Amino acid sequence: MTVMGHLAAGALGIETLGMTMRFGGFTALDRVSIRVAPGSFHALLGENGAGKSTLVKCMMGFYHATEGQMLVDGREARVPDPRAAHALGLGMVYQHFTLVPSLTAAENLVISRKDAPRIIDWRSENAALEAFMAQMPFAVPLDQPVRALSAGEKQKLEILKQLYLGRRFLILDEPTSVLTPDEADEVLGHVKALCREGRITVLMITHKFREVTAYADEVTVLRRGRLAGTGRVAELSHADMARMMMGDAELAQPAPRAGEAGPAVLSVEGVRARDRSGLKEIVIDALEVRAGEIVGIAGISGNGQMELMEILTGQRPAEAGTIRVKQTPYHARREEARVKCVRYLPEEPLHNACAAKMSVTENIAFRTFDMNGSGTRFWLSGREMKARAADLVAAFRVKTASLDAPMASLSGGNVQRAVLARELTGDVDLLVISNPCFGLDFTAVAEIRARIMAARNGGAAVLLMSEDLDEIMELSDRVLVMSEGRIAYARAVAEADLAEIGHHMGGHA
Amino acid sequence: MAMTTPPITGARDILSPDGWLAALARRSEAVVIPFCALLAGLAAFSLFLLMQGKSPADFYSIVYMGGFGSSFSWQNTLSRTAPLLLAALCVALPARLGLVVIGGEGAIVLGGVACGAVAGLLIGVPGVLGIPLMAAAGALAGAVWIGAVGALRHYRGVNETIASLLLAYIAIALMNHLVEGPLRDPASLNKPSTAPLAEQLRVGDLPGWNVHWGLIAGIVACIAAWVLIERTTWGFAARIAGGNVRAAQVQGLPVGRLIIGFTALGGAFAGLAGVFEVAAVHGSANASLAGGYGYTGILIAFLARHNPLAIIPVAILLAGFEASSGLIQRRMDLPDATVLVLQGFVFVAILCSETLYGRFRLFAPERWRTA
């Protein structure tokens, strides 16, 4: 069978020589030469817009490099399109899944094959799949529909699919961004083992230093389309890598904590609601956030954090219980949020807090367009909207080509900056945040965390839901863990124990 | 990638994403793409004509003559424009909230019936009082009908496209029941109708024209709808909800009220179209109300990108096509449904063109320098 034949051939080494990609006058990639040795696990680091994606798209044949060559196993290779890359044994795993949710894992594997027959003989295919899986260091249930698999299993299946298709050089584009830390460790551990066995070579795009140190053999750093540095991971510290990535730019330091916690601003009592599936219940017996403190809610995604956010923003009706802000009942109506100075930063801001096709000016006006001083207005003021947007874009250093550009044309970090500009201006007494730094590069992360801390120091009560435990531990005064729709654990951050938090996150309390 | 581009040129740069050329480019996408789609639809329809051995050149010159070639054809076109303007608003207003409502025909029909029914109660009432009452009744009927579509959508999650279409069939059945039953004028023998409107309740023509006042009402309605959407906070809130309903909810905007309000307003405009059909054209409510204006309105709204001001020229163009259908029938020996085929071709082209938005760098100044 062809699949086995490819596997026997083992890991591929790839080299780029002076790879350059110009789009008109803009050079996205400037003479980048990297060498990925066969069987190695190579990390590709860089900020958003550093040229990582451009480089791998050139390698995969999505782009045609303006200049430069690629060597596959020491021989010059021409890759006019992704199909040619696949034929050479190159494959890519994307940040988001490319599986068909309603089909089983086995069906997904078989239909992904270029030579999948018109009429599939499942008996022989299943036998072949079993033989294939027996050679793999990890397995996923083949007979389940993909939608029933966890995120970690889906990502493992994506990697298995590449191996099944006979790929010997895998490009992983932020493969762990949708995984929990445990799932990420498991998936990357397996990938590392495959490299060590010499079956595949891996080039992984990532933002996470921890993953680089734990799994990669070598690292290449890009900055503004140029090669900023490369080396063996064992010989580099996080500080070295940060310096390569950032150049001389300074990272915003998280503001030091200041001030004591004041009276309770948000109190949630006995709230019950259905979860998204409608099958499970969200139960929040008591949750209190006081002025001048950050309460962090840790937990694996899908344990009710999203529903809690929806209850607090009024998107999901509570069947029982009360939510109070500053001692009076709160229903998340626009007037209430305005009077009580409640602000929200939902996760994935472009998806949940912006209208992608509306302009930056309009998006920045979402919270204030109907305010005229302290009253409300009927007629829109385009001039005031524009002036306000210009001020806020400057104050929060939002990089945009124009105030009239659609929100969707901004990078992820700048979308989040624009939303922060909108929500953190004026008096803030309660700030409810969900995964504020997801998918952002670390200049943006540092800046956004500093702004959250500044809001806390300014006396705001902050409720921070995050899947990033490091973020929770860095920012919170108190840490809670949410598991199966309930708050399973609560401690002041100084007394919190990571192992214990991990147990509660996993639901083994 | 755009974000890392260093500023190459100075402030007075013609390609600046803040300049007048950029503003023009951003706006022109919504004009150029529908216009090209219209041309593509007309070109495809030409092939259809050629297959039947007819000359497209003859066809389009007859359309021009029949719709726009003389003052008589202009008056014919403009008379048909009035209901199309109002019917298109019934699609365009909900569309700004992201709803595809295609059942304006139902609101037109019920608006006409309500007008005919109220007119029966207004014996001896002067026109200054009677006509506004009839208009209010028709607008209310349309508002309730399409507002119900919005309410079903908001409270029960019923797909508004299907609901409005099916409700249009119910509305037509309801009209047939009423004009053949309780509201029938015994004197109407061949074509069951409500009693003819009293002379003082008829809406007359514009001075010196053979075009009724509905045209002015339709144009005023389009301008008012544009002002509502583009210049008021309600319209802005609706655009947020249409752009991303989750963002609108997080901002605490009353999404349900906006949905019901905008669908009801669209329905009111369509109901008004029915009122003018009865009070200015037919003189009584009957099956002629279901003349397909509601469906042509869908095409107009899509061609106009749901911009109420753009509806005005597009409605005139489509009214011209319809006005010429009689001439086409006589001169080219084609069935009068040919104009419907033409509309179908244009509509398919418009729907296909929806995938082209955001694809052209020409219309996105922030990408001018990057690629």
pLDDT in tens, A371-413: 887 788 999 999 999 999 999 999 998 988 889 989 988 888 8
What's residue B122's pLDDT?
87
Q: Are B252 and A314 within 8 A, CB to CB?
A: yes
Question: Residue A467: what pLDDT?
Answer: 79
Please give the Cα distance from B239 to A366 (Å, whole number): 10
Determine the Cα–Cα distance for residues B283 and B248; give it in Å rounded to an integer.
Answer: 45
To the nearest whole percent, how much of chain B has pLDDT over 90?
A: 67
Res. A253: pLDDT tops 60: no
Would you say residue B17 has pLDDT above 90? no
User: Does the pLDDT value for residue A487 go beyond 50?
Assistant: yes
**Axis crossing angle, helix B127-156 with helix B255-276, rounded to the nearest 10:** 140
Q: What percent of chain B clears pLDDT 70, i.e. is strictly above it?
A: 96
User: Can you name the CATH fold of A2-98+167-246?
Assistant: Rossmann fold (3.40.50)
Residue A3 has pLDDT above 80, yes or no: no
Residues of A in contact with B237 (CB under 8 A): 369-370
Chain B touched by A352 (CB under 8 Å): yes
User: Mean pLDDT, chain A, as a whole number?
Assistant: 86
How far apart CA B239 and CA B94 sit, in angstroms, is 10
pLDDT at residue A35, rounded to an integer? 93
Instruction: Give ipTM to 2 decimals.
Output: 0.86
Q: Under the phi-then-psi rule, with left for phi > 0, alpha for psi from -120 to 50, and beta for the rest, what region is B344?
A: alpha
Of the candidates A248, A322, A254, which has an alpha carbon nearest to the alpha carbon of residue A288? A322
Alpha helices by DSSP H, listed for A204-283, are 209-215, 238-246
Find where tokens 């119910």 sit. Answer: B170
In chain B, residues with a C-beta closer than 8 Å to the C-beta of A352 are 244, 246-247, 250
- Chain A residues whose beta carbon lies within 8 Å of the beta carbon of residue B371: 23-24, 26
> Across the interface, do B4 and A378 touch by the CB < 8 Å criterion?
no
Is the pLDDT reported for residue B6 higher than 70? no
* pLDDT > 50? residue B115: yes
Give the model confidence (pLDDT) of B149-166 as tens digits: 999 999 999 999 999 999
Minimal C-alpha gap between B291 and chain A (Å): 36
Does residue B54 sit at the A interface (CB-CB below 8 Å)?
A: no
Supply the pTM of this predicted model: 0.76
Q: Measured between CB atoms, which of A24, A354, A399 is closest to B371? A: A24
Nearest to B18 among A224, A402, A409 (CB): A402
Which chain B residues are within 8 Å of A414, Cβ to Cβ?
3
> Which amino acid, one-letter code, is at A177?
S
Tokens of B40: 């593509």
Instruction: Answer whether B244 sits within 8 Å of A346, measured CB to CB.
Output: no
Q: How many CB atoms lie within 10 A of CB B125?
A: 17
CA of B62 to nearest chain A CA: how many angstroms apart? 41
Confidence at residue B42, expressed as pLDDT on a 0 to 100 scale: 94
Q: Quick check: A380 and B371 CB within 8 A?
A: no
| A150/B224 Cα distance (integer angstroms) | 52
| pLDDT given for residue A1 in this prediction | 38
Mutate which of A66, A409, A417 to disrupt the B interface (most B C-beta within 10 Å)?
A: A409
In this prediction, residue A323 has a pLDDT band, given cuts at 50, 70 and 90, of: very high
* Interval A278-304 mean pLDDT: 87
Q: Which of A357, A384, A416, A434 should we substitute to test contact with B (largest number of B Cβ atoms within 10 Å)?
A: A357
- Give B156: exposed, middle or buried? Use CB within 10 Å, 0-12, 13-18, 19+: exposed
Residues of B in contact with A332 (CB under 8 A): 252
Query: For residues B192 and B286, what is the distance between their CA atoms, to the nearest angstrom?
Result: 6
Q: How far is B271 from chain A (nearest CA, A)?
A: 26
Distance CA A214, CA A88 (A): 29
Q: Looking at chain A from residue 186 to 225, which residues have their Cβ under 8 Å from any Cβ of chain B?
A: 224-225
What pLDDT band is residue B336 in, cutting at 50, 70 and 90?
A: confident
Residue A180, pLDDT above cutoff 90: no
- Closest by CA position to B300, among listed B329, B321, B278: B321
Tell me whether strands A281-290 and A90-93 are parallel, antiparallel or unpaired.
unpaired
pLDDT tens per residue across span A107-119: 999 988 888 888 8
Q: What average pLDDT score do residues B295-299 get?
A: 94
CA nearest to A399 within chain B: B3
User: Can you give the pLDDT at residue A4?
Assistant: 40
pLDDT, position A5 = 39
A160 vs A136: CA distance, rounded Å: 8
Report chain B residues whose CB lies below 8 A from the CB of A403: 18
Residue B46 has pLDDT above 90, yes or no: yes
Mean pLDDT, rounded, of chain B? 90
- Inter-chain contact A335–B371, Cβ cutoff 8 Å? no
Q: Say yes or no to pLDDT of A466 above 50.
A: yes
Chain A residues touching residue B367 (CB < 8 angstroms) = 401, 409
Higher pLDDT among residues A210 and A339, named by residue: A339
Enumerate the domain spans of chain A.
2-98+167-246, 264-505
Torsion of CA B1, B4, B6, B7, to 10 degrees: 70
The β-bridge partners of A245 are: none
Return the axis-axis angle of helices A382-395 and A412-423, rounded to nearest 10°: 120
Q: Contact B247/A352, CB-based, under 8 Å?
A: yes
Query: Average pLDDT of B200-217?
Result: 89
Query: Shortest CA distance to B146 belongs to which of B173, B175, B107, B115?
Result: B107
User: pLDDT grade, residue A278 (50/70/90)?
Assistant: confident
Give me the percent of chain A exceeding a pLDDT of 70: 93
Token look-up 């996105």 returns B364
Do residue A334 and residue B230 have CB atoms under 8 angstroms apart? no
Tell whether the model's pLDDT for residue B69 goes beyond 60: yes
Mean pLDDT of B133-150: 97
Q: Which of A333-342, A454-463, B2-11, B90-99 has the lowest mean pLDDT?
A: B2-11
Please report which helix (H) or strand (E) contains residue B224, including its range: helix B214-231
Does A336 contact B at CB distance below 8 Å?
A: yes
Domain spanning A264-505: which CATH class is it, in words?
alpha beta
- Which residues numbered 373-402 in A keep a CB inside 8 Å of some CB on B? 376-380, 399-402
Position A242 confidence tier, pLDDT thresholds 50, 70, 90: confident
Contact B4 A409 (CB under 8 A): no
Q: Are strands A342-345 and A35-36 parallel, antiparallel or unpaired?
A: unpaired
CA dihedral B271, B276, B277, B283 (to 10 degrees): 130
Identify the pLDDT of residue A255. Answer: 63
Instruction: Give the one of A380, A401, A404 whose C-beta lies nearest to B232's C-beta.
Output: A380
Q: Do A404 and B26 touch (CB under 8 A)?
A: yes
Task: Answer yes or no: is pLDDT of A508 > 60.
Answer: no
Whether the pLDDT of residue A440 is over 90: the answer is no
What gap in Å lies between CA B310 and CA B318, rounded to an integer? 13
Report the run of H or E that residue A179 belongs to, with start and end.
none
Q: How many angstroms separate the CA atoms of A369 and A416, rounded?
A: 19
What is the rounded average pLDDT of the residues A53-63? Answer: 90
Measured from the Cβ of residue B72, the count of other Cβ atoms closer than 10 Å reads: 11
pLDDT computed for residue B12 by the predictor: 57
